Structure 1
């Protein structure tokens, strides 16, 4: 390679700045997304531990359906990034239609499952009849959020994969204030409305997501409405195109579905703990998810750019140089996450003054585990998103599935149901899981086969 050519290629290598351009809108969007649960938890906390427990139980069941939708939308994001790098209109249309079809199908199936089995499951798991009644009322309304998110999450991932990460952010900037205002009014019965308690929090979320999805649909029509005029399908027919999309998406989706189900199974196990411990874990879970998005979305933006580079058939040197820049930025993001956790721990008494001293002390005790978990989780995520971007999805799936179902879930069950340990030790199981995944992830990345993947195949 001539020196001038090498210089041009090096100057074209994306750096941390390009990752940041993608990551900051994705981070804020993810914070708004997961922050909906935090907002609901904060608003409902004024109603007491019983209402918090009811919301946590309902969210554990409804969250499984949402988790499946999010799982396939993540696969949609990666596939769209690969297509965007390849610059093929037929491929782009095929991915968009396939993603919407799969997402809607999952949402409809999830709603059927919830209304067929959800109420009986809540009754079996709830520590009291009052909590069960509140939880089912919340879940019945929240099911509308699930249906709307089948479209919203798919389109959000499509925009992200195309590099238009600000559009999902704008949608959430529009919906979050609506969610807060509507929830406050409906929970407490302001402005002449009835006081609906936890059900009001669910209704506020429904109103907000409806506005957000409408915004996404309008933007899709304005920007990519021309795709309707593109003829043909990537794999010859719509049925084969759908099948190929499912084959690609299934290992990625299975990874996220497994993580979601494992997390919510653990939450259901938490329901057997003391009420204060259960309430503390219910509160810290969405906070951990929201704050962690600062580093996690950096790693997802890294995966998007890797997928685009592989779609463009970038050289091995370009990929190495980009990943080096991105990795250094990931450690900075992890440091920011740690600092925010410290600020949260110092604010517990102010944020949750209505809760008991025992619950607030338990929340504060979580800080060491949260800090220690941040860095291995971030570097594992860099490896996972890079490998997924190259199509090495089955290996990543195995790491997640086996660490969850052979370690985290059984360890949680033993800790809670057999040994009756404190909430702090239950939370430390998450740190142990990240340490278990560290070597398999990094070994695979260092081998380097991902750099030669043909993602358009």
Structure 2
């Protein structure tokens, strides 16, 4: 337990009061983190399985679905930033014992989300063809990619309302509730994939279209469960809480804007960087992009560990800052980081030993397997950097330090990742492996920048 010692974590920072026992702090971290970790891990596993199922149709299908990822997340940018703000604000209000304000945050966020969903989904549907062309679709992937994208974006409002409710639950520390909602949603998605992609038990074989429809069915189930979780009078978050009104409150809107604006800028930089990076890889051809997409699905498993602990960081850091205990917020943040390091080392060892064996689950094409053998070695290094920076970033966002995380995304994701990938891929002639070297450099820079900021302690004095 020396690795999880509260006083050594604080270093020279004096405690602001009595500190709970190390065992209590460690147990609380795990209690909050494990549902979020399991949720993120299984969600990534579902995406993994989704790609395996689509892969049965051929590399064109993997590439077609993969091409829609960044345009879709570009559409989700404003909502992902809203979710960060909602989680941080609900956590602060819960820590300060202001249940009424926490519920008002949720109500106002839901109203804003519904309006923005309609405003964004309409043009995305209309310009889907042009967007996917720009994303790098080719003749053998374009029609399928456009069809998949339109079905997914058509259900945008269903996805976004679910995301907001789950974000609020995580901020309140109800990570088990969000986990259960997503587990059922994702399980239904996989079941419908099995029935609709290749056609089983009398269901039509719809291929890529079936995968999109299965996702929408899963999203819809997730919304029903999320709504059910905030319709219970005994729940901390209750849509009909006695003080809830549809009247917008300037104080809450101001706080939402303060956190969400920085998070939105960050999301824009992230999506621009990811988009340009994906375009650079897509231009290498269908097989190379399919191999790349498989690698991104594999690395998503390790990202899930960092993401889950980052969610725990948002909740624990936010709640303790709301209580005026920045010292305990720091302890929880570092405990999350150290748990993440142990998990990352185990995952990296597995990836390094597996070689291209994992790739065989997706494809038997020799070229894809050849790429996979090299990519898995790079992923083993990336995992350690990735998990660390995701958790540090989550802790900073929980404190409301989203303007700094936006700056990190501008420098590392929007500039360093696409430029270094292009340099390694084309002028230096490393091909697909060059793109992964660019990704490694991006992860390293994000780790350095987020860890330095967390260590500085400036996030501990941010008011929301």
Q: What TM-score, normalized by structure 1, do the two folds share?
A: 0.89
Alignment gaps of 5+ in structure 1: none
Partner SS for 2:19:
helix
Deviations 1:324-382 (A, max 9, x none): 43332221122233244346645335413x43111012112112221212223333334
Q: Distance in 2 between matches of 1:18 and 1:299?
A: 15
Change (3 A) 1:68 1:36: farther
- Per the alignment, do residues 218 and 357 of structure 1 end up closer, same or farther by CA in structure 2, a change over 3 Å counting? same
Q: Are the counterparts in 1 of residues 135 and 278 from structure 2 also a CA contact under 8 Å?
A: no
1:377-416 mapped onto 2 (5 Å cutoff): 377-416=386-425
Indicate which of 167, 170, 175 corresponds to 1:157.
Answer: 167
Query: What CA deviation, in whole Å up to 9, does each residue of 1:376-400 have, x standing for no partner?
Result: 3333334323332223221221112
Distance 1:449 1:67, change over 3 A: closer
| Correspondence for 1:447 | 456
Instruction: Describe how 1:353-372 pairs up with structure 2 within 5 A.
Output: 354-372=363-381
Instruction: Check whether the contact 2:288–2:432 (CA below 8 A) recurs between aligned residues.
Output: yes
Moved more, 39-48 or 438-447: 438-447
- What CA distance in whole angstroms lies between the structure 2 residues aligned with 1:367 and 1:434? 16
1:221 is paired with a residue of what secondary structure? coil
Partner Cα distance (1:319, 1:178) in 2: 37
Name the CA shift for 1:119/1:6 in 2 (closer, same or farther; >3 Å): closer
User: Separation in 2 of the partners of 1:227 and 1:30?
Assistant: 26
Task: Please list the CA deviations of residues 413-434 of structure 1 after superposition, one character each: whole Å capped at 9, or x if unmatched.
Answer: 3444555432122111111122
1:289 counterpart residue number: 300
Residue from 280, 293, 297 that aligns with 1:269? 280
Contact 2:144 2:208 in 1 (8 A): yes
Q: Deviations over 1:145-182 (max 9, x none)?
A: 43211111111111111111111111122122221121
Equivalence for 1:167: 177
User: In the TM superposition, what whole-angstrom CA distance separates every residue of 1:287-342 from its partner, at most 9, and x where no partner exists?
Assistant: 212322113321331232111111000153x3444444333222112223324434
| Structure-2 residue corresponding to 1:106 | 116
- CA 50–307 in structure 1, closer or farther in 2 if over 3 Å, else same: same
In the alignment, what sits opposite 1:250? 261
Q: Secondary structure of 1:22's partner?
A: helix
The yes-or-no answer on 1:230 pairing with 2:254 is no
In the TM superposition, what are the counterparts of 1:288-437 in structure 2 within 5 Å?
Answer: 288-314=299-325, 316=327, 318-342=328-352, 345=355, 347-348=357-358, 350-352=360-362, 354-437=363-446
What is the deviation of 1:28? Answer: 2.0
- Partners of 1:187 and 1:167 lie apart in 2 by 30
Report the Cα distance in structure 1 between the residues aligned to 2:216 and 2:245, rounded to whole angstroms: 35
Give secondary structure in 1 for the equivalent of 2:351: helix
Secondary structure in 1 matching 2:197: helix
Give the distance between the partners of 2:400 and 2:451, measured in 1 at CA.
16
Deviation larger for 412-421 or 17-26: 412-421
Structure holding more helix per residue: 1
Tell whether the 8 Å contact from 1:295 to 1:337 is kept in structure 2 after alignment. no
CA deviation vs aligned residue, 1:95-123 (integer Å, no higher than 9, x gap): 10122123323322331231121112324
Asked if residue 27 in structure 1 is aligned to residue 52 in structure 2, the reply is: no
